[in-house]
Amino acid sequence: MPSTAIVGTPDWNQPAKLTVAIALSLLCMVAVADDDGFCNVDTSCDSNVELPTATDCATDDCACAQQIQCVITNSSPDDNWSTIPTGDLHWNAFFWHTRFLETYVSPAGEDAFHAALDPAQPMTPLPAGTILYKAGYDPIDGEPGDPDIDQGAEVFVAAKLEGDYCPSEYEINGSCQGGGWFWYMADYTASDTDPFFSAWGKPDKCTACHNTAERGDWMLSLDIQRAYPPQP
């Protein structure tokens, strides 16, 4: 069970950061298209499952999302992965995703992620094998204040795969939309259906926002931290 401690209250006295957050939230709102078809979360994961490669995902992106989620499930992030960037469950101040978030980074990318948070250091892309996993919760009864943990989580994942995931339709002038990441959203909140993926691969819901963060290896938390570092 995730912690319900709320940390990381934002400082809205930084106009530049607020302007960026509002602009990005408006950009995210126009991205509403899901992938075609339907894809259920695999709830009977093989304990030996390994992270797929970019080639695997180009062949079957639904099976790829299922396999990545099984890697996460078998890894038990709440026990074995570090939380970032503020630690524990925190209020999401920047409008995208849900109101409360708990974000984890897989061991393969932990050191590189923390190094990339330092704007004084050159930006080094996060290594293959990095998984960023967000469990998001809405407030109880739609009111600000406390997260509704019992309702279940919306899950947001970005996985940096070996070989860089970039089907040809996402390449523009030699650059890949959203970088070499595989993205998906999974819904664990519905009580009358099995968990399912609402988007997977390189969904517009993800890339429309993250395309603005190329300087931070397509991660908004890194891009904003480097562009607007905290004041001493």
| pTM for the whole structure | 0.80
**Cα gap 64→111, rounded to integer Å:** 25
**Cα gap 213→182, rounded to integer Å:** 15
What pLDDT score does 156 carry? 93
From residue 53, give the alpha-carbon distance in Å to each of 73, 116, 132: 18, 24, 16
**pLDDT tens digits for range 127-179:** 999 999 999 888 887 666 788 888 888 899 999 999 999 988 888 888 888 89
Instruction: Please name the residue that has the structure tokens 């004084």.
Output: 120
Residue 184, classed as helix, strand or coil, is: strand
Q: Which residue has the higher pLDDT, 181 or 7?
A: 181
Instruction: Please name the residue that has the structure tokens 């970032």.
Output: 84
Least confident of 24-33, 74-83, 121-130, 208-217: 24-33
Tell me the β-bridge partners of 31. Answer: none
Cβ contacts of 23 within 8 Å, gap of 6 or more: none
Across 43-47, 65-69, 205-209, the highest mean pLDDT is recorded for 65-69
**Cα gap 231→130, rounded to integer Å:** 29
